[in-house]
Amino acid sequence: RRMKARAPPPPNQASATSRIHSEQKSPAETAVISDQNLVSMKENMINRSVDFTVVLPSGVEQKSTVQGSKAVMDLLVDLCSQYRLNPSQHSLELKSSGAQPPLSYKPNTLVGALDVQTVLLKEKVPEEKTKRPLPRVPEKSVRLVVNYLKTQKTVVRVSPEVPLHNIIPAICEKCEVSQEHVVLLRDGITGEELELTKSLEELGIKEVYAWDRKRGELRLKAVAAE
């Protein structure tokens, strides 16, 4: 006996089978489709016109439109050329909105890849050239002979150009004399006090006598008591 041929599947069954196959696409096929969609979105962003507000260094605002395929560094050159500015002395700050921080970009970043709403054309602050410090001239100093306690001597290196009251601390430290009671004398015979507002050069001396007024008074009292 001859077998009857199998009837073709109903139309709804075929569509269900194809739907199952489409639902069972491999992850690789799905990734390819998603990548294609991403590339298509990027192309649409790059090919579109981008409208934004330009804020000039003076604060004046201007409306501008460029193609999204333009690089940021080319945008800087075009804007500077349009407003007669020097590109090397200016930079761009791109913002998506006023409250948001500036957008980060590279010179070759395409404008269409950024959500730009405001372009601030800023003048660069000239960096001060670091000046080499002048060679420090060693401070002039001389050896000052200090006589103290009548029989003691010491040497202090001080500046000959400053007033004497500036070198008194160094003398007192060396001689262990109190600054409150010290008196500088020209010599140990006449007892002439030196003017503390004058320098060693002005006085023409390289030797002084440090007199401790307090010790002198105590000595006088002791002599009187005897």
Q: Please report, for the domain that includes residue 168, its CATH number.
A: 3.10.20.90
Instruction: Tell me what the mean pLDDT of segment 195-209 comes to.
Output: 90
pTM: 0.41
Q: Is residue 98 part of a domain?
A: yes
Q: Is residue 65 part of a domain?
A: yes
Are 54 and 103 found together in one domain?
yes
Domain count, the chain: 2
Are 182 and 146 found together in one domain?
yes
- 144 neighbors 158 (Cβ within 8 angstroms): yes
Q: Is residue 74 part of a domain?
A: yes
- Domain final position from 76, 94, 123: 123
Are 155 and 219 found together in one domain?
yes
Are 115 and 44 found together in one domain?
yes
Give, for 144, the enclosing helix (H) or strand (E).
strand 142-148
Beta bridge partners of 212: 182
Q: How far is CA 145 from CA 118, 159, 162, in A?
A: 75, 13, 16
Are 102 and 174 found together in one domain?
no
Are 155 and 214 found together in one domain?
yes
Give, for 39, the enclosing helix (H) or strand (E).
helix 27-47
Q: Is residue 129 part of a domain?
A: no
Are 116 and 147 found together in one domain?
no
- 208 neighbors 177 (Cβ within 8 angstroms): no
Q: Is residue 22 part of a domain?
A: no
Q: Is residue 80 part of a domain?
A: yes
Q: Is residue 175 part of a domain?
A: yes
> Which residues span the domain enclosing 215?
142-224
> What is the tens place of the pLDDT at every residue in 12-45?
554 544 554 455 555 555 544 555 665 565 566 6
- 149 neighbors 177 (Cβ within 8 angstroms): no
> What is the tens place of the pLDDT at every residue in 99-135?
778 888 888 888 888 888 999 999 887 755 556 666 7
Q: Is residue 18 part of a domain?
A: no
Q: How far is CA 59 from CA 54, 80, 120, 140, in A?
A: 9, 15, 9, 55
Angstrom distance (rounded) from CA 94 to CA 54? 10
Q: How far is CA 79 from CA 149, 190, 210, in A?
A: 83, 85, 77
Are 114 and 75 found together in one domain?
yes
